Structure 1
């Protein structure tokens, strides 16, 4: 049985009809459907957003910085990320973090606390980063999918065989899965996928860690040092500087999840207060990821030394046991399927909200078709949501096929979004919300932190630009990316 009614698919909870019929217990104080998010689901969203397959490249980052600076940078950014995320969590409601009015998106939060041109700056940084991440995840997932075939090829024919395989079929498969999952209406319905993705991230990180420990226990000579790769032996002086910049940038952006923090917080129940639960979830998420980052980075460096590969599962730092390598890469692909949705849902919501506001009477945009699905129950199909989200997934996949080195471009995108979204806006909104006096001690040290992170972002951007220029020079359109 099918039917129709006039409600926007993603924002159906903003315009409910049920309260008029007296069923108030299923709705929040603002008239939207009651949120069901908990500490567990928020932590899963954060871990899914933060732990990417980049955890497997941290051995390379530690190799560039060495035993002293590498772990110190990891811990420093863990603290900065957690601290600024607590400030951002308090900004979810305004004017007060407990009883103020809810803001549903990052842009809404900035508009409420700061206003002016900074709202547009926030939107540019946030959605530019989200688009870039979804393209990058399409590339990264395809590399892991291809790595399964290459692992089997190496096992059958030997490690000396090239085993070049095109990434494009894997990108098409990944896009097909995303077209299906993109019909999940909103962030509130995404919890199961984030929990699955978080489990997968633990699985492949643990496999990488276990293989590294086995390699260390097996002996063999590798070169490590307090300062990382050696000038004159491993790299030139110039390469050492650029690689160090890139490594700092990789670590800094590996923690960033502020682009989706507000959207995650908007899934939490009203009681206990969302800000308190979100701070705890941030603590769980950041501490968990830091533990894995330190273990994978340091143990990976101990296993491979200064020759650590960019990714020791897809870059084949390990060849055997091939079945375990296959399983780890399947876990990476499944994790990125969930992570793609975590970063894509805010984009979907933004576009659909704007279109609904601009054309409120348009039936194609606003009409929901109720379809009775066996086992699942009633599912609401919105034709605009179906067409727009499908088109978005296809476009990101095509861009990924045309520019497979775009994944390296993410460092530059991250440099442009890390500072404003993770540091600048949370600090400025906290100053405005708490009414901190100008030039007071608290104001000064917050500003120092902000300016320090700006310098780091500029340094990382410079390293990313240099690395990207090398990618473009050596790029061969028909060569399999590894």
Structure 2
């Protein structure tokens, strides 16, 4: 029995000793683990740099006055010189009413777009089509907004190619009467060559200097136009009667005049892109600075448009030319200077309208085709776009007539009534309230101008087709 007890006791001692050894080993192992450096953490898989570039591409460093001259550059184009010609078909009463009404309607729709830029907390709709996607849905929204916006942006750039080449030709022919005359196509190519370099500037902020110069030039040549008419005074036997033509022809010309006035308010196609460059905080949202800049732009717009339209029509009456500078003729040095100012202005206008197109094309290349962002992407995409607009401008110098037709689907919607539709869709104002009535009035007026511009432009294409010259 004692032997059995001794055996049990000895086994207990051995088990206790084994337990103690195991405990010591475990503690030593723990110390070694704790004292050794931790194993390197697994590397995080980097997010797709292309996607990050697409999402974070916006540079938000602009001040409120940037939006002023960007908007002026986008809106006040060489078309201001044709406003007296539009007045000749509309007359004093209807012409004044359409001018004032267009100014008020488009100022209201610009205010709506500025307010809608951050209508969702924490989200900024930096592109017109992004706002359309929010209002009409991810599938339908881009199809409603993007075609109209592209018609305005690409169409304006092609017209600016033609306008810049024509004005450059006029300037040098007036400045150097003994120089060899070049074809208009060559001058358009010279003008287009400038944009192969300017288009490489990365964003809106980088073209601020060009845009500021363009805005100053638009104010300058508009002032030359109305001041020259004022100093010249009324022509002999001036008449303010409506132009004599057949009934059908007169209606089409009136429609075309409505289109010319509506095309003067095309800046809405880039207003969200301009606002995207302005920083925004809860204390200082971007809509405050952008609206301040827009008011300044519309003030400059008014002192450019209204004096040119009214004084030009007052001086020449129904016989005013479609370009009031051409009607002035003298002094030649002043008219030559005004043409050079138009050239500088459309250089800036081309870039303002092209920047959103560049942005969209580059993001499409990066997102869909996995093209790496950088200088190579910018060089290829932007040079191709400039070459395309240059080719169309040289090949079809009558593109203004085509723009009158297609622009009816672009200019009037983007500036006159599409912002009102989006406002009704998102804000949902109470039926028959003041806001509801104003927006529906803008929609009906804009639809009428859109249809009238389209019909007038189509008629001009048919009527002028016999005089078209390719590569003139």
Q: TM-score, normalised by structure 2?
A: 0.84
Shift of 1:156: 7.0
CA contact (8 A) 1:103 1:109 kept: yes
1:187 to 1:13, Cα distance in 2 relative to 1, 3 A: farther
The answer as to whether partners of 2:73 and 2:348 remain within 8 angstroms in 1 is yes
1:453 to 429, 446, 451: 446
Q: Could you tell me which residue of structure 2 aligns to residue 170 of structure 1?
A: 187
Q: Give the Å deviation of 1:429.
A: 2.3
Indicate the residue corresponding to 2:320 in structure 1. Answer: 308
> How far is 1:447 from its partner?
2.3
Q: CA deviation at 1:129?
A: 2.1
SS at match of 1:243: helix
Q: Tell me the equivalent position of 2:238.
A: 223
Q: CA 1:237 to 1:342, structure 2 compared with 1: closer, same or farther past 3 Å?
A: same
Match status 1:253 vs 2:263:
yes
Q: Secondary structure at the match of 2:327?
A: coil
Higher helix share: 2
Kindly tell me the number of residue pairs found equivalent between the two proteins: 422
Aligned twin of 1:404 = 397
Cα deviation for residue 342 of structure 1 reads: 0.4
d(CA) in 1 for partners of 2:50 and 2:216?
Answer: 32
Q: 1:90 aligns with which of 96, 99, 115?
A: 115
Pick from 56, 64, 67 the counterpart of residue 81 of structure 2: 56
After superposition, the C-alpha distances for 1:207-260 in whole angstroms (9 at most, x for unaligned) are 1122111111xx5414232xx4333xxx33332211111111110120121110
State the alpha-carbon separation in 2 of the partners of residues 194 and 449 from structure 1. Answer: 30
- Report what 1:111 is aligned to: 133
Q: CA deviation at 1:63?
A: 1.1
The Cα of 1:178 is off from its aligned counterpart by: 0.3
1:209 is aligned to 226
Shift in Å at residue 58 of structure 1? 0.9
Give yes or no for the alignment of 1:149 onto 2:186.
Answer: no
Q: Which residue is equivalent to 1:324?
A: 334
* Residues 7 and 15 in structure 1, CA contact (< 8 A), matched pair in contact too: no
**2:88 is equivalent to residue 69 of structure 1:** no
Partner in structure 1 of residue 158 of structure 2: 135
Partner of 2:10: none
Contact 2:117 2:124 in 1 (8 A): yes
Report the counterpart of residue 389 of structure 1 in structure 2.
382
Contact 1:66 1:224 in 2 (8 A): no
Structure 2 CA distance for aligned equivalents of residues 221 and 63 of structure 1: 16
Quick one: distance in 2 between partners of 1:229 and 1:205? 25
In the alignment, the residues of structure 1 paired with residue 227 and residue 178 of structure 2 have an alpha-carbon distance, to the nearest angstrom, of 24
Which residue of structure 1 lines up, in the alignment, with residue 423 of structure 2? 430
1:101 pairs with one of 94, 117, 123: 123
Tell me the residue number matched to 1:21.
none
Structure 1 residues 7 and 301, CA, compared in 2 at 3 Å: closer, same or farther? Answer: farther
Is 416-425 or 256-265 further displaced after alignment?
416-425
Contact 1:187 1:342 in 2 (8 A): yes
Contact kept, 8 Å, 2:133 with 2:140, in 1: the verdict is no
Per the TM alignment, residue 347 of structure 1 is displaced from its structure 2 partner at its CA by 0.7
Q: Flag the structure with larger Rg.
A: 2
Aligned to 1:121: 144
2:157–2:389: 8 Å Cα contact kept in structure 1? yes
Q: Relative to structure 1, is the Cα distance of residues 437 and 123 closer, same or farther in structure 2, using a 3 angstrom cutoff?
A: same
Call closer, same or farther: CA 1:436–1:358 in 2, change over 3 Å. same
Unaligned 5+ segments in structure 2 are 1-47
C-alpha distance in 2, partners of 1:112/1:338?
Answer: 31
Give the direction of change, closer, same or farther, for the CA distance of 1:114–1:267 in structure 2 (3 Å limit).
same
Alpha-carbon contact 2:396-2:471 (below 8 Å) kept: no
1:332-481 to structure 2, matched below 5 A, reads: 332-360=342-370, 362=371, 365-366=372-373, 368=374, 382-437=375-430, 442-477=435-470, 479=472
Q: Does the 8 Å contact 1:139/1:171 carry over to 2?
A: yes
Deviation at 1:435, TM superposition (A): 3.0
Give the match's secondary structure for 1:190: helix
CA distance in 1, matches of 2:232, 2:178: 22
**1:64–1:306 CA contact under 8 A, matched in 2:** yes
Aligned Cα root-mean-square deviation (Å): 2.4
The residue that corresponds to 2:246 in the other structure is 236
The structure-2 alpha-carbon separation of the partners of 1:297 and 1:8, relative to structure 1 and needing over 3 Å to count, comes to: farther
- Measured in 2, the distance between the counterparts of 1:417 and 1:265 equals 21
What is the Cα deviation at residue 320 of structure 1?
A: 2.2
